[in-house]
Structure 1
Amino acid sequence: MATSAAGVIPAERFWQRMAIGLAVFIIFGFAQFALRGFVDPVAAPFWVHLHGIAMLAWLGLLIVQPTLVSRAELPLHRRLGWIGGGLALVITGLGIFTGLASLVLNRFPPFFSPPYFLALTTVEALVFGAMVWWAVRRRHATQWHRRLMIGATIVILEPALGRILPMPLMIGWSDIPIGLIQLAVVGIIALHDRRTFGRVHPATKAIFLIVIAVRATIYLLSLAPPVIALAARLTGG
């Protein structure tokens, strides 16, 4: 997560606050779900715990990185950035594996059909990983880099939202409110862009389109015969 040192303190405050806000929201979503007794964390398979630990590490890095930039600790920022890129690959792999294993073990939410859950976990994990590595490739283009890192995390807000929203009452149309909430978060970045540049940055527009594309792709894939057939084989149906 490299960036320029010029004017970093006022610039990085916004990204640090965005990172903290996303981290708090995601952790709250999972914590309140467990505290309400909807899941037994102790009984979860070990790979679920690994995925959770990896995500906590990602959220920690997301907060630490702009903090390091604001303190002009760029060498450490760059080293941790490469670690973050590797961590994103681990999260992508664990996300896909956890989704597949959940179908095999019948541990997926009952309000999702198997094809939808398969498409959901696979598409979001792949897009998250792709966006992080896009950000790594654009590490010298500071404005793109910052937005893509936050954007990758916005894409995977769905698991936390799914534990907060009344999902059993939203069967068949949950993509709409989830997508709208994600777009509202992108809107916060767009407002920041307008205050900073007088226009919405192209990277912010790209994230907006990616969020829409992800929701649409998940829905359409869940209706595709090959995905339906694979989900049936995984669940033994």
Structure 2
Amino acid sequence: MDMTAPLHRPLSGERRFFLLLSGSMVLAVLTGFAPSYYLRSVLPPPATLQPATPLVHLHGIVFSAWIALFMAQVAFVAAGRRDLHRATGTTGLLIVLTMIPLGIATALAQVARRSGPPMLDPHMWLAMPLASVLGFTVLFLMALALRHRPAAHKRLMVLGMAAMLSAAFGRIVFIPPFLGLLVIPNLYTLALAAWDVASLRRIHPATLWGGLFVLMTTVGPIFVWRSSAWLAFAHSIA
């Protein structure tokens, strides 16, 4: 046995890159939701913040569990423990299948609570959270279907997370809401594209098509939420 061999392999550039991307997502969630949820008993909450209902608490618990598991799974891969990554995959699937209807229910409940931006009709704003749920759901299911193709799987997982980060970045007080809601989530697509070009000399198809879907679900709502068709739909389901 070579006693001079290192006990731990150093992180490859790719593993370090995806670990940093995932860590920035967790940091965004913790920062964005600290005043309104995680630390609302310590930090002064926004003046327009509505009291948390049992549904809001359930939503927060389940989504927080997913964020923690997502970070853990990325860390497992970075550490070379794909066995743990696969072992926790079923738990992740169960959490996500709970998040989808829970996210829709919470979005609909926001209309009655008028807990969206005060300057917007809540039926208009409903387009944003529902589009986030759609983006996350579609990209996660695609990532699951391509779990045996690691390059596509990891990119779609990151983009699925990016699709749901508008709510987090939009709540960070030192980031203008426009940038947090519409621009910053799409920077993850640009980061992936830059990594693809540097490492593959091309943009991976999962980055291209997944990134376009993130763009559609983060920016698309502002082009439809004033339309009579959307408002009629929003009133009918809310």
TM over 0.5: yes
Is the CA contact (8 Å cut-off) linking 1:103 and 1:234 kept in structure 2? no
Q: How far does residue 8 in structure 1 lie from its aligned partner after superposition?
A: 10
- Written as runs of structure 1 = structure 2, the 5 A alignment for 1:37-56 is 37-38=45-46, 43-56=51-64
Where do 1:110-121 residues align within 5 Å?
110-121=118-129
Structure 1 length-normalised TM: 0.82
Deviation of 1:232 after TM superposition, in Å, equals 4.1
- What is the letter of the counterpart of residue 212 of structure 1? L
- Residue 109 of structure 1 deviates from its aligned partner by 2.7
Larger radius of gyration: 2
Q: Which residue does 1:185 correspond to in 2?
A: 188
**Equivalent residue, structure 1, for 2:23:** 20
Match of 2:82 in 1: 74
Report the secondary structure of 2:220's partner residue: helix
Q: Give the superposed CA RMSD.
A: 2.8
Which stretch has the larger CA shift, 109-118 or 138-147? 109-118
1:94 aligns to 2:97 (yes or no): no
Distance 1:42 1:230 in 2: 25
Q: Measure how far apart 1:85 and its partner are.
A: 2.2
Runs of at least 5 residues in structure 2 that lack an aligned partner in the other structure: 1-8
Instruction: Point out the more displaced range, 83-92 or 119-128.
Output: 83-92
Alpha-carbon distance in 2 for matches of 1:218, 1:233: 18
**Counterparts of residues 155-166 of structure 1 (less than 5 Å):** 155-164=163-172
Q: How many residues align?
A: 224
Measured against aligned partners, the alpha-carbon deviations of 1:39-87 in whole angstroms (never above 9, x if no partner) come to 6989300111111112211111221112222333323311312221221
Aligned partner letter, 1:119: A
**Which one has a larger percent helix, Structure 1 or Structure 2?**
1
In structure 1, what residue type is equivalent to 2:74? Answer: P
Give me the whole-angstrom Cα distance separating, in 2, the residues matched to 1:111 and 1:41: 14
Structure 1 counterpart of 2:142, from 134, 149, 153: 134
Query: Greater CA deviation, 63-72 or 139-148?
Result: 63-72
Does the CA contact (< 8 Å) of 2:196 and 2:203 recur in 1? yes
Distance 1:160 1:59 in 2: 12
Residue pair 2:48, 2:118 contacting (<8 A) in 1 also: no
Q: Structure 1: give runs of 5+ residues left out of the alignment.
A: 1-6
- Contact kept, 8 Å, 1:119 with 1:218, in 2: the verdict is yes
Residues 87/40 of structure 1: CA separation in 2 closer, same or farther (3 Å cut):
farther
